[in-house]
């Protein structure tokens, strides 16, 4: 049996006195999409950020395709060297809520820079490849625009292209549409749908319950730093047995119902 | 009483020489202050806690005392500790050190203004620490600090007038000397004000030109 794409094992995380994640274990199989849902402060973003080692788990371990991320395996938990961390992390593409494009580079520059500086590609090779990625997210015409000249949806699509250009096997999305209005949300979700249909392994922190239900192979529900549920959308949405989950989903139903009045 | 500017303008070559000294000290001092301030800010940002504490005190002292007192201490107090400087060197050094304290603060704020997420995105893209500093942090910071940095250089230009008090043959000293010789004190002051104002406007115009070209980069 092959290793899962992501294996989270007994991860706990403390910020000072606050326990943000409590003994979380979950696996994401290659080619599957897991959506992390839950109320604000439930720890879902922190869990995702741990998967990219942007946050360090206080205890527990995370393996990416069988290799430890951030800390070495073995009895003594030691930090990986920066080079080793970069090597393991190179399989992961990360997309942020605030896009985090670099404002002093064009869309093309944002996508091309790591190809040049990390992959050592020539400028023209890197830009050809970057242009192909921008084309894929429908932004070839905007390649020479700076981030400030792009809409939020376009910026997020550039950010997705930037991550994809480095050939990750796993894509992590941290509330990718939370900073966007509903119209722009659609264009970003479409790109993500396409990516999922191509078999990309994805973990998505989202409040878009509809997207989670239709694209997610698994739904993970977090509350108070605990993983209460990690199951198929059918199991989660059709028959929520967990009272806390039922309550959480009701808030979405309430909003939908109030629109019909 | 009538103004007679002609008696002052007759000494144009001397005025131009004074203007040259002012511009040299201004440009040279600003350049040195930017470099020194940048080094200090970078050390404070990346050099660890100890360096941070050591560098904080001198910056606070330099920002908390009048420039006039600083150059008097440097020029008249220096010899007591064996530091004998030519007036113009003391002036250049004074402007550089005084300016560096302010530029260090401007750059410190600049480093802090770059969103953490921009650095995280660079880490996730696999850039090394040095690549992140040179390709992301520094260029982003340059954009953010341009307006306050230009403003500071204008302040430094005007502070150079105080160097006349330690006998640096710059614009203020030259024009005031001419005014005394020709009994045209007020005229000399009016001309001084006009020349400084013209220099400041020139600097501001350059600044606006640079900002206009960079404005497409900021949201």
Tell me, what DSSP letter sits at residue A242?
A: S
Task: Give dist(CA B189, CA B193) in Å, integer.
Answer: 6
Rg (CA), chain A: 19
Task: Give dist(CA A245, CA A97) in Å, integer.
Answer: 24
CB spacing of B124 vs A54 below 8 angstroms: yes
Segments making up each domain of chain A, as ranges: 1-91+206-261
Q: Is B143 on the interface with A (CB under 8 A)?
A: yes
Burial class (CB in 10 A: 0-12, 13-18, 19+), B139: middle
Query: Which H, E and C letters describe chain B, residue by residue?
Result: CCCCCHHHHCCHHHHHHHHHHHHHHHHHHHHHHHHHHHHHHHHHHHCCHHHHHHHHHHHHHHHHCCHHHHHHHHHHHHHHHCCCCCHHHHHHHHHHHHHHHHHHHHHHHHHHHCCHHHHHHHHHCCCCHHHHHHHHHHHHHHHHHHHHHHHHHHHHHHHHHHHHHHCCCCHHHHHHHHHHHCCCHHHHHHHHHHHHHHHHHHHHHHHHHHHHHHHHHCC
Predicted local confidence at residue A260, as pLDDT = 46
Q: Is A114 on the interface with B (CB under 8 A)?
A: yes
Chain B residues whose beta carbon lies within 8 Å of the beta carbon of residue A93: 124
User: Which of B143, B52, B61 is closest to B101 using CA atoms?
Assistant: B61
Chain A residues whose beta carbon lies within 8 Å of the beta carbon of residue B129: 82
CB spacing of B120 vs A94 below 8 angstroms: yes
Minimal C-alpha gap between B131 and chain A (Å): 8
Domain contains B1: no
Predicted local confidence at residue A64, as pLDDT = 93
Predicted local confidence at residue A62, as pLDDT = 93
Q: Which CATH class is domain A1-91+206-261?
A: alpha beta
Domain count for chain B: 1
Among A117, A126, A148, A175, the strongest candidate for a mutation testing the B interface, having the largest count of B CBs within 10 A, is: A117
Domain contains B50: yes
- State which residues form the domain around B40: 6-217
Helix or strand holding residue A231 (H, E):
strand A226-231
Q: Print pLDDT tens along chain A (261 aa).
A: 578 999 999 999 998 888 999 999 999 999 999 999 988 889 999 999 999 999 999 999 999 998 989 888 877 888 888 888 999 999 999 999 999 999 999 999 999 999 999 999 999 999 999 999 999 999 999 999 999 999 999 999 999 999 999 999 999 999 999 888 888 888 889 999 999 999 999 999 998 888 888 889 999 999 999 998 888 888 887 766 778 888 888 777 666 554 444
Predicted local confidence at residue A48, as pLDDT = 95
Considering all CA atoms of chain A, what is the largest pairwise distance in Å, rounded to the nearest integer? 60
What ipTM describes this predicted complex? 0.90
CB spacing of B126 vs A114 below 8 angstroms: yes
Residue with tokens 């809409």: A151
Chain B residues whose beta carbon lies within 8 Å of the beta carbon of residue A162: 121, 125
For chain B, which ranges sit under pLDDT 70? 1-2, 215-219
| CATH code of B168's domain | 1.10.3720.10
Predicted local confidence at residue A243, as pLDDT = 80
Predicted local confidence at residue B199, as pLDDT = 92
Q: Is A166 on the interface with B (CB under 8 A)?
A: yes
Q: Is A109 on the interface with B (CB under 8 A)?
A: no
Burial class (CB in 10 A: 0-12, 13-18, 19+), A41: middle
């Amino acid at each position: 049996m092959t290793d899962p794409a992501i294996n989270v094992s007994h991860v706990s995380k403390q910020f000072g006195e606050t326990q943000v994640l409590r003994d979380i274990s979950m696996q994401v199989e290659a080619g599957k999409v897991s959506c992390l849902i839950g109320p604000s402060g439930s720890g879902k973003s922190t869990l995702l950020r741990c998967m990219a080692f942007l946050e360090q788990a206080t205890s527990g371990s995370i393996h990416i395709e069988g290799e430890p991320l951030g800390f070495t395996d073995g009895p003594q938990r030691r930090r990986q060297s920066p080079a080793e961390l970069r090597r393991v992390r190179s399989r992961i593409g990360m997309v942020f809520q605030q896009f985090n494009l670099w404002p002093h580079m064009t869309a093309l520059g944002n996508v091309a820079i790591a190809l040049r500086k990390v992959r050592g590609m020539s400028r023209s090779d890197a830009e050809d490849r970057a242009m192909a990625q921008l084309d894929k997210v429908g932004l070839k015409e905007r390649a020479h625009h700076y981030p400030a000249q792009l809409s939020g949806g376009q910026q997020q699509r550039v950010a997705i292209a930037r991550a994809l250009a480095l050939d990750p096997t796993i894509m992590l999305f941290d509330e990718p549409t939370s900073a966007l209005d509903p119209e722009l949300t659609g264009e970003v979700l479409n790109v993500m749908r396409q990516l999922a249909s191509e078999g990309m392994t994805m973990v998505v922190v989202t409040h878009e319950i509809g997207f989670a239900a239709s694209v997610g192979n698994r739904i993970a529900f977090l509350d108070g730093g605990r993983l209460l549920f990690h199951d198929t959308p059918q199991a989660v949405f059709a028959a929520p047995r967990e009272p806390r989950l039922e309550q959480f989903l009701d808030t979405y139903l309430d909003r939908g119902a109030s629109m019909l009045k | 009483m009538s103004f007679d500017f002609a008696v002052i303008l007759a000494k144009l070559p001397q005025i131009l020489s004074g203007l040259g000294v002012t511009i040299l000290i201004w440009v040279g001092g600003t350049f040195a202050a930017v470099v020194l301030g940048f080094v200090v800010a970078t050390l404070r940002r990346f050099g660890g806690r100890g360096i941070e504490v050591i560098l904080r005190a001198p910056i606070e002292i330099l920002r908390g005392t009048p420039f006039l007192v600083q150059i008097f201490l440097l020029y008249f107090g220096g010899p007591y500790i064996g530091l004998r400087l030519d007036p113009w060197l003391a002036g250049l050094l004074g402007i550089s050190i005084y300016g560096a304290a302010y530029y260090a603060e401007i750059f410190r704020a600049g480093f802090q203004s770059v969103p953490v997420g921009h650095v995280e995105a660079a880490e996730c893209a696999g850039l090394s620490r040095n690549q992140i500093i040179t390709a992301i942090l520094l260029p982003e910071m340059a954009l953010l600090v341009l307006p306050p940095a230009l403003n500071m250089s204008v302040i430094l230009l005007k502070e150079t007038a105080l160097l006349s008090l330690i006998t640096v043959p710059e614009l203020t000293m030259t024009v005031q000397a001419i005014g005394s010789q020709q009994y045209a004190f007020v005229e000399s002051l009016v001309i001084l004000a006009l020349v400084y104002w013209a220099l400041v406007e020139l600097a501001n115009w350059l600044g606006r030109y640079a900002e206009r070209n960079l404005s497409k980069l900021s949201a």
